[in-house]
Amino acid sequence: MVNLFDPPAPEKPRRILALWFPRMAAERLLRRARGTITGPLAVVRESGNLNTLVSLSDEASAAGLSVGQPLRDALASCSILVTRAEQPHAEAAFLGHLRRWAGRFAPWVSASGTDGLFIDITGSAHLRGGEDGVIDAIEQDCARFGLTVQIGLADTAGAAWALAHYAGQGPGATRSGDAIDQEAYATRARAVKRRNWERGGAAPKPVTLRARQARIATPGQTRQAIAALPVSALRLEDKTVTELARVGLRRIEDVLNQPRGPLMRRYGQNLGRRMDQALGLMAEPINPARPPRIFSCRMSLPEPIGLEADMAEAIARMLPTLCDRLAKAGRGARRLRLEAYRAEGSMQAVEVGLARPSALADRMEPLLAMKLPQIEAGFGIDMLRLIATTHEPVRPEQHRRLPGQPQQDIGSQLDDLIGRIGARVGLEAITRHHPGASHIPEKAAQTIAAAYTPPVMDWPLLGWADAETTAPDTQESEAGFSMSQTLPPRPLTLHAVELVDAPPEPHLPHRFKWRGRWYDTLRAYGPERIAPEWWLAERTWRTGTRDYWHVTTAQGARLWIYYAHGGAQSGGWFCHGRFA
């Protein structure tokens, strides 16, 4: 019999498993090569004119190479090094395969960066004999896959990540201003050549997996488990880690023992957030990734090709298949990626974007044809793959056309033009103006990307009554000028506020000086009083409320000037724009 007055059973703590694959990119290539690659292997990232190592095989680490080392230095110390270019798309897909494999241990699996996974095994570890059984199964599977894995287990995702990456490591030496990685590349290159193992000394020991006991935190002992780890285990930026080390805070325990307020004021809110996530004071949920909806097609070629005409013909044959799949699902592609797989095993990808989601092949083919000159065939391309990386729902629209009018309307032609220009300069570089929901002149129009917003056809109508024709709703202002009750227009050119040399009084001057030139007032409309929203603190409006005037001068200039009544700063006369 259950007593309703009994206190509820204490909730079991969460147990998070962090998997880190430190050699994932290199070992993925070794798995694909199936034994054809012999010797040390390194994956190289090209950044500007510098090539650096981003992933190493076990043999490459044993040869004394390290991640982040320039390629020229690596080849100087290891002449038999085999290099391959980095392929972020392929590595991301491989991590997705690992995420699906990890679903056999628990349903809650999410990615941790580009080379790791988080698994929430709370309530499911007993299915494999407990936590040790889960870790044994993961290590056995990874050994069968040919992957190096480091595992951390704790009550929080942050602590598990710290144990997987830094368990058993001390804080290390304090970095100073003369650290070798803070010097110029020319100086660094000379210093690298003086390293011990290149002068006949012993090479550094390869990175090995650490003991399991150091990588598992006892339930409820999260703080004690991560206290001795370096502060970089909190997933902080390198700059923050360096600044903490300079003041002697090199371990997590050193940071946790300091007052929270001064730390966050000096090093930012991210430090406090990472500390709370590691200790479980801030939630860091692990959400399983939804299976992506992929629309793609590929063509395997019997013989490698290298001509642009051949690739264009292959694309023309693949597009109808891809568009048919998109149309049946009611989707339209916004971004397309063309992957060209070369005969030697490498891959090059190019991407294009569409101004509007579409499932029509004749709108995609010209954009892809513009990217074909960027593809380097090398020894030949033996497979092409076309993927709709971004797609959106597409609803049919009914268009009213007159007899003889072409089927493609003006809006579609404009979208195609934006897409063709965006293929060269980028869709984000093409902008258009939209009316803003504010009466402030600077906010009257917003500049947004043209590819992601439709054009606005109903702009608000602005206009003064004609001065030559007296309307019933016009009246004489204090200065004797005609003023309309309708909303006045804005100038064609709106520039930064500039000072006008005129008497500091609210009455419109008959003569004033602007940009070193004197102007005589011939005709003026106003004033239009404008003040910013009371709930916003506008820095440019510290001169107070403004009275705007549309002034036509005897010299022919039509200016938009205003008188500021003063506020946090002194007021006066200013010019804000020019009419056509």
Q: pLDDT exceeding 70 applies to what percent of the chain? A: 83
Architecture of domain 296-406: 2-Layer Sandwich (3.30)
> For residue 473, what pLDDT band results from cuts at 50, 70 and 90?
very low
Asked if pLDDT for residue 322 goes beyond 70, the answer is: yes
Strands of 415-479 (E only): list them: 431-435, 445-449, 474-476
Domain 16-200+207-218 superfamily per CATH:
Reverse transcriptase/Diguanylate cyclase domain (3.30.70.270)
Report the SS3 class of residue 520.
Answer: strand
| 187 residue type, one letter | T
Confidence of residue 43 (pLDDT cuts 50, 70, 90): very high
In the block, which residue shows the tokens 């030496």?
173
Rounded to the nearest 5 degrees, what angle is found at the Cα of 84, between the Cα atoms of 81 and 88?
Answer: 140
* Interval 87-137: pLDDT, tens: 888 899 899 999 999 999 998 999 998 899 999 998 888 888 888 899 999
pLDDT of residue 286: 86
Name the pLDDT band for 49 (thresholds 50, 70, 90).
confident
Q: What is the DSSP letter of 232?
A: G
Q: Which residue has the tokens 């090093």?
A: 267
Range list for CATH 3.30.1490.100 in the chain: 296-406
pLDDT category of residue 472 using cuts at 50, 70 and 90: very low
pLDDT at 414 over 60: yes
Confidence of residue 575 (pLDDT cuts 50, 70, 90): very high
Containing 276, the helix (H) or strand (E) segment is helix 269-279
| pLDDT at 178 exceeding the cut of 60 | no
Q: Helix or strand or coil: residue 546?
A: strand
Judge residue 561's burial from the number of C-beta atoms within 10 Å of its C-beta, 0-12 exposed, 13-18 middle, 19 or more buried: buried
> What pairing do the DSSP bridges indicate for beta strands 82-85 and 41-47?
parallel
Q: How far is CA 68 from CA 74, 240, 306, in A?
A: 10, 19, 34
Is a pLDDT exceeding 50 seen at residue 208?
no
Peptide bond into 7 cis (omega under 30): no
Q: Would you state the structure tokens that stand for residue 182, as one six-digit string?
A: 């803070």
Question: How does residue 190 score in pLDDT terms, banded at 50, 70 and 90?
Answer: very low
Dihedral of the alpha carbons of 470, 476, 479, 481, in degrees to the nearest 10: -10
Task: Kindly tell me if the per-residue pLDDT of 479 is higher than 60.
Answer: no
What pLDDT is recorded for position 196? Answer: 42
The reported pLDDT for the residue numbered 72 is 92
Close Cβ partners of 368 (under 8 Å, ≥ 6 residues apart): 315, 336, 338, 350, 352
Residue 534 vs residue 114, higher pLDDT: 114
Q: How far apart are CA 162 and CA 229, in angstroms?
A: 8
Domain with CATH 3.30.70.270 in the chain: 16-200+207-218
Rounded to whole angstroms, how far apart are CA atoms 575 and 418? 36
Task: State the Cα–Cα distance between residues 2 and 6, nearest whole angstrom.
Answer: 8
Mean pLDDT over the full length of the chain: 82
Between 291 and 356, where is the model more confident? 356
Rounded average pLDDT over 201-230: 70
Q: What is the pLDDT of residues 338-355, one digit of tens each?
A: 999 999 888 899 999 888
Lowest mean pLDDT across 40-44, 429-433, 454-458 = 454-458
